[in-house]
Structures are given as C-alpha cells and as structure tokens.
Amino acid sequence: MRSKFWPLRDIPAVFWLVALLVVTLVHPFVAASGWLMIHLLLLGAVTHSIMVWSSHFAETLLHAPTDATQRRRQSWRLALLNGGAAVVVAGMVAGTWGLTLAGACLVAAAVAWHGAALVHRLRRALPSRFRPLVRYYIVAALCLPVGAGLGATAAYGLADPLHDRFVLAHVAVNVLGWIGLTVVGTLVTLWPTMLRTRISEGAERAAYRALPVLVGAVVVTAAGALSGLTHLAAAGVLGYLGGLALVAPSFVTAARAKPPAAYPTWSVLAAMVWLAGSLVALTVAVASAPSWAEAGARLSWLTAPLAAGFGAQVLLGALSYLVPVVLGGGPAAVRAANTEFERAGALRITVINGGLLVCVLPVPSVVRVLCSVLVLVGLAAFLPLMFRGMRASRRIKVNPPPPSTRKDRAGPAVGAVAGRRGGLATGLTIVVLAVAAGVAADPTALGVTGSVPTVQASGETTRVEVAARDMRFTPSRIEVPAGNRLIIELTNTDEQDVHDLVLETGQRSDRLAPGASATVDAGVIGRHVAGWCSIVGHRQMGMVLDIVVTGTDAPEQDAAGQHDMGGHAPSAATRAGSADSAAADLDFMAAPGPQFTAHDPALAPLEDATVHRHTFTAQELDRDVAPGVAQHLWTFNGTAPGPTLHGKVGDVFEITLVNDGTIGHSIDFHAGSLAPDQPMRTIKPGESLVYRFTANRAGIWMYHCSTMPMSAHIANGMFGAVIIDPPNLPPVDHSYVLVQSELYLGPQHGTVDVNALQAEKPDAVVFNGYANQYDHRPLTARVGERVRIWVLAAGPNRAAAFHIVGGQFDTVYAEGAYQLRPDGGAGGSQTLGLVPSQGGFVELVFPEAGHYPFVSHAMIDAERGAHGIIEVTD
C-alpha cells in the first residue's frame, strides 16, 4: 500500500471515529444514540478499515500489486460504502426506514463488489503459501450483504420477539461473519508480524481447517435465531468458539516466541480475549434464556464487550501498528511514529480493559458511568496520538537523521515498553479510584448501611424468595427472627416492567429486567426495615416491602412513620422526606435567556400522503421547563409534548416506538380504535414495537405513555397530540397548537415528584411544556386574519379553560363536533373548557393591533405558567 495521501482511503475511518467520539459525549441528546454509537464504530470505522486493509493484505498475500484501474475502482467502492453508511445513519436518526433500507443496499453493493474483486484477484494469482487466507475475506464479504438485509429488516419495526431474533441473526452474520472472519484470517499473518517473530508452522493449514467451521457456526447461529430455536443459536455460537480454538495454537505459539510488549499487540490480544469471553457468555445467555425477549436483553448487555472490547481494540491495535509502516520513510521515521502510537500503552490498555470489565459487572450506575468515561478516554487517546505519530514521521522525512547503525533498524521505539509496570499500576489505580468515587457518590448502591443491629447476631440465616410483579412484592411482608441475617432472592417476574429493591438501611439491588434475578443481603436484622421499588412512581403505587423482626419487643413501626396511604399506602419508608424540589427556584416573572427557543406552536401543513410513518424514540434527558428550572424528563423524540401528528380522516399512521430509556415505556394513541393488548404494551429498554392505526374520526387526540404509574409517565413528559382535520375544514391564516399540562417538580435535573402528583398539587401549569414561554416568544397574527388555535388538555389531572383576553371566539369545535360556527348569528364564545385528554379548536379574528394574552381561566393556573401572548399587528 502506497504511503501517498489517498483521501478515500485515509479520511473516512478518522471521520467515523471522530463522529463516534462526538456522539458518545452528547448521546443523552441524540436520537437512537445507543444504536448510533455501535454502528458509527462497526459499520463506519471498522467496515471501512476492513475494505481498505483486506485489499492491502490480499495484494500482499497474492503478490498482485494494485494498478491504477484497480485503485480507481477501489475508490468507487469506498465512496459507495461510506455514502451508504451515512445514509443508513441518517435514516435511523430521522426514523425514515426507506433511507435506512437504501443505505443498507448501498453498503451491501459496495461490499459485494469488493468480494467480487477479491475473487477475480484470487483466480489470477499464482499459487503461494498464504493464498487460501484470501478466502476468509471473500466469505466475509458474502456475509455482510446478508447481515445488512437482516439489520434493515429489524429496523423496519418488527414486533417482539421476532425483532430480537432478527437482531441476533444480524449480529451473528455481521460481527462474527463480516468482522470476525476478516480478523481471524488477517491475524494468521499479521499477529506474528506485529510481534516480529516467525509465523508458526502449520498456521495456514489450521486456518484452512477452521474456515468451514467458523462459517458453519455463523450459519447455524443465524438459522437458530431466525427459527426461534435458542439452543440451536447457542450451539452455533459454541461452534464458532470451536473454530477459534483451531487457529488459537498458532497465535499462542507466536506470542510465546515473542510476548506482546507494546500497545498494538496488547490491544489486539485484549480484543481476542474479549471476543472469546463474550462468545462464552453469549452461549450461556442464549441457551439459558427463558424467552427470546430475555435473550435479546442479554445480547444488549454483551454489546459493550463485543463493540468496545473486541471491535474497537482490534481496530486501534492494528492501526497503531500498520499506520507507521504505511507512512514509511525509513527506519527512523517508522520508529518516531511508533513512539507516538505506543505512548502510554500500558496505561491505556489497563484503563480501557479494567474500566470495561467494571462496566460489565453488576456495579452501581455511578460507578459504571465513571468507568465508561475512562474507557472512552483510553480509546479516544488514539486520535491525538495518531496525529502526533504522523507529524513525527513527516518531521523525520523532512529532516533525516544521520545514517543509522544496525541497531537503529525499524522496529519498536526503544522506550515503547519502558515503564510498562508503572503504566499498569497507574491504570489500575485510576480504575480503583473511579470505583471508589462512584461508591462515595452513591454509598447505598453497594449496600453500605448506616443501620447497626440492636441485637446480637444469632449466626442463623433466613433466606426468602421475593417476586416483583404488577407493582407488588410477593410476599410483601417478611418475618425474621431477631439477630438472623436476611438474604432476599429477588426475581422480576413481570413481563415488561423493570423493577428493583431498595432497603431503608441502604442495601439495594440493581434494576432488573423481566426474568432477571438478584440477591440482596439485608444483613443482621435487629429492627423493622422498610423496602421499596425505586423506579419512579412504583413505590407510590404500593410496591413496598416490610421486614418485620420477631422475638423482640420492637414496635411494628419505627420512627419513619405509620402506614397511611389508603389502598396504595406502603410502609413507613414511603412517607420519608424527598429531595429538595426545584419549585423553590420557580420565578414566574423571570425571562428565559437570549438563546431560548420556544416550542414551535405552528401546526405543520397537511401532507398529501395517506400513510404516515414515524419513529418515536422514548428518551430520558434533561430539559428546561421554566427559567432556571431543569427536569429529567421522559420524552418522545426529546420534547415534551412530543411531535404533533397531522392527518385527515382515513389516513393510516404507522409509528415505530423505540425505547431508548432505562425503564419500560409504551404509547397509547387515542386517535386509533383497536385492541390495546399488543400495540400499547410496555416495552423494555432497547426494544421496539410498531403501532399502526387508521384515523377514522376527526379531532385533536391525545397520545401518551400508558405504562404504570401512568400519571407519572404523563406528568414527566410522555404525551402529545394527533390532529385529524374535520372534512372540508376551511383554510385559515394561522393555525396553532397548544397542549396544556402540569409540572410536579422534583429536584433540579430530577424526575417528577410523585407525592405532589398524587396529592394533585402542581407547581406549574404550562402550554407546550414550558412556563410562560409565549409571553417571551409571542404567537403572531395581523388585524383581520383568521386564527385557529387547537387546544389539548393533557393533564394528567387538571382541566383546561382556554381563554383569550380581549378576544371572542366565533367558532368552537370540541371533541369531534362544532359547538359554534361563524354562520352570521349573534352567538359567540369566551372559553373552551376541556377535561384531561379532551381537545378542540377555536377560531377568531382580531379587531385591532395589540397584545392579547391567552390563559387558562382557572386563574391560579394562569398565574403559575399557563399564560402567553398573541401579538397582533396592522
């Protein structure tokens, strides 16, 4: 491969890695960020690199240099590949399946063309020792078009569990087939070359025997997934491990002859360890999964080891070795580049792999976040070091050093491995400090308790199995002899909802997906202890646990309080004080900053299409709801209210709901009439469903999350409007949409205060999600223009009384029927009254220029945020 700059070869991989870094840093604010991070790495950077380097290695192994025509065609293939990948990404982010499909077709075409070019080269090449290794690249190229088709099909919005099965098949064909086969075939020769040792005898024969085993394993895994046979899929993964075992001895022999001593070889070795470990875990996970839904959840858990542990590390390790070689310039230039690429190698390897290992363990979320940041920093260090290495190489080329002696031959820089013990120790220290910082930030997450037993330990252990289901723990009361140690075996037997268990003494479980289990060691029990599910709203729904000590004179309730919440009243712990509310920071007279952008109230024009396809992503992110007040909202597509859909009677709406949150979510469209069992079901994080309905009746219809507790999900932002125009609706000059809702503020950047919600004590009532926003960014109209304002009362608790100060409505449409028309009569209307979930529209013409306030005429609501201005000019 020539070192001369070749844009289509050299730039895209760097672009994809930079894009990955940016998305990772801002992922809470990006739609489909989980999918995006995986595919920017694997579809973008890794796939581009495979196309480039497999051509290079095929050229080397076959002794067939690339001519100008072949290079030009390779440029076309790379352009087609990267363009297709960009279209796939755009389609997924925009929620447009047609774009996703088109991009997948372009990617598949580019890789198929690449495979055909390799076949052509292989047929024309003379026999050589490593000629059969090119078949790995050819078979891998056959895998990707199949995997792209499976991925595009999964993206269409298949219902579960079919979606989970297609995802596993997609992973098997693309990760194990396209990427895995390429890596294995390349490392047969590249691994000993990186180690600077001889290729072991028989390495090529072992690779020849392993290829059909690996390919067969990929086929069996995909077939098992598509057919719904978990044990067949697990057998396929196990078979892949068997194929790796056939080539492993040659890799081990090379490593024993010359142990890894620098970042590139450490990184590749770590990548292969992560691949093997992930495949072992995947085999067990799929084989033991009680359902495909659980298998899909377990596959999601293995995404990080496969993508970051295997994919990222094998890519960065290989590039750290190959780029200095390709840059060339003689031994001194290669040595200078190596020095930069291998800088802090031991530290980076330790931080990346130590941090990643912590991330995949059942650790508190704060610990996981801190360690994931370490992993990101360790991997991202490649980019600045790459540029430093390129600059160092160029500097040597421009100013060559004196003639080198024999010991100055190109190879690893003299200091490349110096201080690796110090780097290892420093890396371990950083990881340990991150874990300690996470525990310090959330000490209860590791079961650190401030409770000291008031009785002597008996030495006995009480074990109790507790099931979490339907907003209840069963049993909800546990009696424990005083002094006994209590072990709770908690299982989430719910079909969709995530649950956990937190004890007032500090011990807690992780959040458990349906079917998952955890053990909570409550310690020695010397008094009554309260427990609850910490998922927002679950505790208030009655999901509580009482641990009652027997054999002492302890009262039934401790100082935390008495049960007193009626049918939903849990234990004393439920009444414990909550965190400070952001309501203390509310100032309804304050103005938002100059960069504030109001929620667009304008109704989008009606489209000609009769079928409307949209992707709604459930996202949990921080948003301002008033000047100086931010909440961690649950949203559809990042806004509260969510997107307003607009259609006409008879139109079909096909909504793909993707849960990118941390708990279960769902959606209920009032605009459709259908059985709720499947389309309105709660889906777990990472899952998706397709909701298809026909709009048979006109009106403004509410949609919302219907996961329990529904009040909390709506109050925390999961609602929106669907507007179906009445037949023959007259045109107007302006059409606006206002959705009224309430805010029950938790702490700054916290979630809804469910206690205030249950007490029906809102802190603010707002239009379109932000208090008084249209006082500062008014709606506009001109004198004599007809204005239509659609209004929806989203609640969840309070009615709306929509009124425009200084205006009179000559048209009122509510709940599917006209109550008043501008037919020349003398009647008018002053207020549109709507109970929660009802909607309609009003029309009026403003008689003169001025500023017309619009409010909820429940005046306390107008005074706490339900207020705006219509600015009318001549």
Report the sign of the C-alpha dihedral through residues 394, 398, 401, 403, in that order.
positive
Calpha distance 512→489 (Å, rounded)? 12
Residue 394, by phi and psi: left (phi above 0), alpha (psi -120 to 50) or beta? alpha
Amino acid at 84: G
Q: Is 713 annotated as a binding residue?
A: yes
Q: Is 114 annotated as a binding residue?
A: no
Measured in whole angstroms, the distance separating CA 149 from the mean position of its chain's CA atoms is 22
Q: Is 538 annotated as a binding residue?
A: no
Question: What is the DSSP annotation of 586-651?
Answer: --TT----TT------BPPPPPS-SEEEEEEEEEEEEEEEETTEEEEEEEETTBSS-PPEEEETT-
Helix (H, G, I), strand (E, B) or coil at 568: helix
Q: Is 857 annotated as a binding residue?
A: yes
Calpha distance 608→409 (Å, rounded)? 70
Q: Supply 519's token pair.
A: 């053990």
Q: Is 632 annotated as a binding residue?
A: no
Q: Is 704 annotated as a binding residue?
A: yes
Q: What angle do CA 587, 592, 594 make, to 5 degrees?
A: 155
Non-local (6+) Cβ contacts of 406 within 8 A are: none
- Structural contact between residues 352 and 376, judged by C-beta atoms closer than 8 angstroms: no
Q: Supply 182's token pair.
A: 């390429």
Calpha distance 55→74 (Å, rounded)? 9
- Structural contact between residues 304 and 359, judged by C-beta atoms closer than 8 angstroms: yes
Residue bearing tokens 């029990």: 525
* Strand partners for 800: 834
Residue bearing tokens 């996981």: 368
- Structural contact between residues 141 and 115, judged by C-beta atoms closer than 8 angstroms: yes
Q: Is 851 annotated as a binding residue?
A: no
Q: Residues of 679-710 as b/e, b for ≥16 C-beta within 10 angstroms?
A: bbbbbbbbbbbbbbbbbeebbbbbbbbbbbbb
- Structural contact between residues 762 and 756, judged by C-beta atoms closer than 8 angstroms: yes
Report the sign of the C-alpha dihedral through residues 301, 305, 306, 312, in that order.
positive
Amino acid at 706: S
Q: Residues of 595-634 as b/e, b for ≥16 C-beta within 10 angstroms?
A: eeebbebebeeeeeeeebbbbbbbbbbebbbbbebbbbbb
Calpha distance 689→775 (Å, rounded)? 39
Binding residues, by number, are 665, 670, 704-705, 713, 718, 857
Binding residues for Cu cation, by number, are 665, 670, 704-705, 713, 718, 857
